[in-house]
Structure 1
Amino acid sequence: MTRRRFLDRTHRNRTRRDESGRGFNPASMIRLAGFGAAIIIAAGVYIGFTRQGETIYDGRWGVLQRLITPLFFGVNALELLVLVIVGLVGWRIWRKMQ
């Protein structure tokens, strides 16, 4: 094999390896989702312990009541917001996989 063919093949393999490293990595997405869930759970536990006798309708958190009041057919704004966020994340994952 000539040196030129060897160098071309090496360059093609290196390019292919570099391109495959930038692809979709499900393990990192799972780690990121677990980290986000841990932060949300930790915040909820902290709020629960620091404001034991208080409900969500008391104090400055009373504004959030609008999120949980039914809008139509028993669906509230918080559920719609979660559906939109999950849909956007799913769409982004689907786009990355193609």
Structure 2
Amino acid sequence: MTRRRFLDRTRRNREEQARSGKSFNPATMIRLAFFGVALVVAAAVYVGFWRQGETIYDGPWGLMQRLITPLFLDINALELIVMALVALVAWRIWRRL
């Protein structure tokens, strides 16, 4: 094998590896999901422990009542937001495959 063919093959392999690095990365998705779960747990701890005397409808959390009030067919706005986010993530994963 000549040196030129070897260098061409090496360059092609590096380019292919660079392109494959931009593809779907499950480890990144898992880290992102873990970060989202950590945010939800932190919010739950804040509401549960530091605001013990309040109910969800008192004070600054009163806005949550609008999110959990049924809109139609016993579906509330919070469920619709979660379904839209899950659909967005699924669509992005499907588009990358």
- Structure 1 partner of 2:74: 74
**SS state at 1:14 partner:** helix
Q: Report matched runs for 1:1-98 at 5 Å.
A: 1-97=1-97
Give structure 2 stretches of 5+ with no counterpart: none
For 1:28, give the aligned amino acid. Answer: T
- Sequence identity (%): 68
Separation in structure 2 between the aligned mates of residue 43 and residue 60 of structure 1, nearest angstrom:
13
Higher relative contact order (CA 8 A, sep 6+): 2
For 1:96, give the aligned amino acid. Answer: R
Per-residue deviation, residues 48-87 of structure 1 (Å, max 9, x unmatched): 1111121111112212211111111111111111101110
Aligned length: 97
Over the residues paired in the alignment, what is the CA RMSD in angstroms? 1.2
Separation in structure 2 between the aligned mates of residue 82 and residue 52 of structure 1, nearest angstrom:
26
**SS state at 1:24 partner:** coil
Give structure 1 stretches of 5+ with no counterpart: none
**Greater than 4 Å deviation, 4+ residue runs:** none
TM-score by length of 2: 0.90
For 2:3, give the aligned amino acid. Answer: R
Per-residue deviation, residues 11-55 of structure 1 (Å, max 9, x unmatched): 111111211122111012111101210121022112211111211
1:6 deviates by 1.6
